[in-house]
Amino acid sequence: MNILEFSLLVWLGSFTAGFVGALTGLGGGVVIVPLLTSVFSVDIRYAIGASLVSVIATSAGAASTYIKKGLTNLRLGMFLEVATTIGAIVGALIATFVTVKALTIVLAIVLLYSAYLFQQPKLENPENDTADPLAHYLQLNGTHPTAEGVMSYQVHAVPGGFVMMCVAGVISGLLGIGSGAFKVLAMDQIMRIPFKVSTTTSNFMIGVTAAASAGVYLARGYIDPGLSMPVMLGILPGAFLGARFLIGAKTQILRIIFSLVLVLMAAKMVYQTLGGGLL
């Protein structure tokens, strides 16, 4: 294919990734990296570089809408970004010394685990009893709009969530995928805040995490403007559209379809890495 066809196909895939990433809080990078590597045969390090740019665009595109709607917990997001930024820098430094084969295998494992996490039942408004004293001290508790009106929620297990965010940051820097699944998991399952608040706060956070590791990839020469431009131009409008759909969206069918896509992409990458060429 020529350059124009390649750019148009990348744009289309990026638009879809931006829409799903903003709607689910996973970040578009979880689709972009396997798409570029398995479909377009792009070197995984350049795919990660383009993905980091796309994750920043996804966050910028969705965060403004979510903040206006009162869904994003800004104080919690900024607090947890301390952990993810440190982890992202560490992960990006490690990635430059790891083989492409190892990176591909790790990415496939993360995709499979993300698919598993995405199928776990989530409570839209979990029962909250006593908040973590640290959450009260840091004023991390908040409110969010629901169909029944504005409801308050309390944040739990702040230290456990902080540690999980460090792990999410390392994964983001290592694989360039934003690690939204792990951020949503930490806030939803460990810190026990409402799922839509977890999703929107994750979208707010992933841009900062990606920016922390993008500098390392840029210094190493792994961000190609010719590849990053159609990715960013596709993912930004997709993120805006996904953000507009989030509030009233029922995501169970989307969870199933997206999880199947993750599993298929992971299987294809592992097969190709181990020497196959039929998929």
Question: What pLDDT score does 56 carry?
Answer: 80
Helix (H) or strand (E) holding 150: strand 149-153
Those residues with Cβ within 8 angstroms of residue 189's Cβ, 6 or more apart along the chain or in another chain: 120
The Cα 22–Cα 245 span in angstroms is 9
Question: What pLDDT score does 234 carry?
Answer: 87
The percent helix, strand, coil of the chain (3-state, each to 5) is 75, 5, 25
Select from 247, 268, 261, 251 the least CA-distant residue to 13: 261
Max alpha carbon distance in the chain (Å)? Answer: 60
The Cα 164–Cα 189 span in angstroms is 11
Question: What pLDDT score does 277 carry?
Answer: 44
Eight-class DSSP state of 42: -
Could you give the 3-state DSSP secondary structure of residue 152? strand
Question: What pLDDT score does 26 carry?
Answer: 64
Alpha helix stretches (DSSP H) within 25-119: 29-34, 44-69, 74-95, 100-118
The Cα 186–Cα 275 span in angstroms is 36
Report if pTM > 0.85. Answer: no
Helix (H) or strand (E) holding 144: strand 142-146
pLDDT lower than 50: segments of the chain = 126, 128, 277-279
The Cα 191–Cα 164 span in angstroms is 10
Q: Find where tokens 């403004």 sit.
A: 64
Mean pLDDT taken over the chain: 78
Q: 142: buried, middle or exposed (CB in 10 Å: 19+, 13-18, 0-12)?
A: buried
**Number of other residues whose CB lies within 10 A of the CB of residue 168:** 29
Query: Rounded to an integer, what is the distance from CA 100 to the centroid of its chain?
Result: 21
Whether the CB-CB separation of 156 and 179 falls below 8 Å is answered with no
The Cα 279–Cα 271 span in angstroms is 8
Question: What pLDDT score does 214 carry?
Answer: 80
pLDDT tens column, 139-153: 888 888 877 778 888
Question: What pLDDT score does 279 carry?
Answer: 42
Whether the CB-CB separation of 22 and 62 falls below 8 Å is answered with yes
Eight-class DSSP state of 146: E
Q: List the domain boundaries for the chain.
A: 3-273
The residues that bridge with 150 in the sheet, in sequence order, are 145
Q: Find where tokens 């903003």 sit.
A: 22
